[in-house]
Amino acid sequence: MECTKCKYEVLFDTVHLDWGTAYEGDYQYTNPGYEYKPFKRQLANGAEVETADKHDKTAWGPGYGGDYDEYPQGTEFECWVVLKVTEADGTVLFFRKSGTANSYGHVSWDGLLQEVKAVKKEVTVFENLYEAV
């Protein structure tokens, strides 16, 4: 029996899946200007693949506002992208590819490709009762 991750790893390669494009979206020129369209591709087995979620630690780093310019030069952090695969029969699968990004704007998609599942969790947060004066 063939492993699902192995099968999709090969299928992603056959469409020359660019993990950077999956993360950022498709850059398209429009008149005037440009925009990023959501990433979506059709695979050889008829399945559709699209970006389901993405993360880079710049938005979450302590003391940083999420702007690359606020990081000391050479800072590295984890990033990942989750792809949603909808097979021809309607079966939905998710795969996460991890990588390493740095303060210079470079991302190396050098991490593992893993099959993952979507799990909803309840989270309790504590917010200030009063605004700072």
pLDDT digits (tens, 9 = 90+) for 2-20: 788 888 888 877 666 777 7
pLDDT digits (tens, 9 = 90+) for 20-70: 777 777 666 666 666 667 788 888 889 998 888 887 665 444 444 455 456
Residue (of 91, 93, 87) closest to 114 by Cα position: 93
Per-residue pLDDT tens over the stretch 74-130:
778 888 889 899 999 999 999 998 888 877 777 888 888 899 998 999 989 888 888
pTM above 0.75, yes or no: no
Contact 81, 22 (CB under 8 A): yes
The rounded distance, in Å, linking the Cα atoms of 48 and 106 is: 28
